[in-house]
Structure 1
Amino acid sequence: MTVSLHPDLFQILRGYAALIPPRCLQFPPHLSTQLIHDVLLEHVLLSPHFQLYPPSRQYQKAFWKCIISHLENKLEVGFVSRFLDPIYLTRRVQSETEIDPRIYEHYLDLMNASALHVIFAVFSDLDGQRLPGQGPPSQSYVTHFWKLDNDRTTSPSAPVDLGAYQTTTLLESRTLTECGTTGLRTWLASLVLAQYLIHNPALVQRKRILELGSGIGFLGSVVASLQLLVSGSDTSGFASPGMVCLSDVNDAVLLRCRDNVHLPCNRSASHTDMRCCFLDWSAALDPDGIAPLASLLHDDLDADLILGADIVRLANTSVLRSHRPRVLGV
């Protein structure tokens, strides 16, 4: 069954999935409150995907606080409060549309969880250097919607067919650094390079791809999905969709990368030649490291295309240059 959304409501859904700050989301004033309410209920709160791979509780709390405030204002509910108080839930002014109780219940659950976190912080944070509730953001699932750029004539106001979109979901850190590395979150360069490849899928079609500094696997998951989509098969067949090798130097990052690309919700999980490996290209500067690195690049991987997004390039990496694949980076 085809499920379509108004494009403005799709942007809210997309923003929630990608953890866009709620203050940056735009609510369409020209759409009915009932429609906005029902889409948020069905495609956000009750979504099977977001129940399995939810944004962090911190983000959900901010999102639903914003949503409830917006809906209550539109419904002219008889109270405005910074914090939702369950005592007054039964005193709402009756209107043509009412906010579904499950939305309030979910928000209250988030509030209670936040209160418990503050209580825990009071007793555990005894050094006095941090105020309760001011801990770092918790890790979160992030879901990116994207689709092959097959039809550029679609009107911006046309309904959005959700079935035409792919999703890539990752568990990632929400801090700049974690475990001594910046590799546990997705950075802008990966998003930009992924968008370029989505517009030019022939670059990776049935190719052997090596990504340097893969981080938690966003770009690699998209590349693997593109190979499956353009080959027309999600399972092994007579023709291989290609090979994707994701590499990094941090063990924690590689473990997270491997877990992310194999999440059941990601198309990349069904790729038959998806690899994650340790690769430190600075080994090319070490006389003892050149031979093992050259063997990995030439004999094992034999990449047609090397990808790099937001990585440090070393000046003297002759072993990489001697391999002579195409190199694409941002």
Structure 2
Amino acid sequence: MTNRTRTNRTRRATLYELVDNGVLSAEQAEAALEALRRSEESRTGSSRVLREAAGYLGGALVLAGGGLLVELTYDTLARPTRVAILIAVTLLFAATGLYLLGGRPGPHTRETVPGARRRLSSLLFALCALTGASAVGVAVPDFVLLPATATGLVLALLGLLAVRASPGLLALAVATVATVHSFAGFWFDHVLPDRAPGPEFGQSELSGLLLLLLGTLWCLCAARRVMVTPTFALALGVTIVLLGSFWVSSVGQTWWGHALALLVAALLLAGFVRRRDLVLLVGGLVALVAGVRDTVSDLLGSVGLAVLVLVLGALTMSLGAFAMRRPETAGSHSARGGVAGNGSETDE
């Protein structure tokens, strides 16, 4: 029997002793017990918030302290010593995260571990991916980023598998983008060092196409609610798609890259018409404005481009209004409770 249970029984016995003596009525005793219960829950909730905030602050201080130590001693410490410091910080984050999960990571944590502990452990695993990638980045030869970003990707994926929460999802998305970009650079700088890339296909185009592919798969998984917090996951997927579109069209500056960016914008807007997710509308508008800017700025000039963007914005706004007023169908996404902003979707 816990101390809290003993306290509750003692309170109840004391109050009902007053009821037996005629000092209080049964209704007054129950009201007093309810007031005491609410007061205790309020204090417990405040204590939990403070403990969670202390955990976040502690993790940030450890990360800042480790980074500052490496920065201040970068020229005096040998490379193995710097790597050892980063590995120690990584192991500390991982061990603390596992301790918060009770040493039993996995999909069952949603039912067995309180929400605050899951969120904090997920953040610690995300920081673990960052420091682990930094350790590998310091250990490998300079200007070779792929081993470091790949390590971060693996650690972020392991952290997400250990506890399904938003910080782990964000860490996985960042690690995915970094790994794709470093892979494209490694491919053209080390795998094909003596072969000049074609005029219409280089590092930015390869990065963009890979990100478009991965972002599309990410969005499909989020739309099917395979990932945790589907709306947040969809926002991350759309962001990855937009980054891919930007690298192909704005950085690459190829005609097919411009056409691909406009196609991405059309697909995102079509997805909004079908699903009515605000994330898809915002992503489609961003992709449309960026694609139009890169494609027709040289043809129409700055003033003509501004007018065209204004007209496209008006048309898109009208399209969105039409989609919002369209009658619901029995098989629509909103009927399944998946509309963006639905209160039924929770992270924890």
State the TM-score, normalized to the length of structure 1: 0.24
Rg larger for: 2
Answer 1 or 2: higher relative contact order, Cα 8 Å, separation at least 6: 1
Q: Which has the higher helix share?
A: 2
Q: Which has the higher strand share?
A: 1
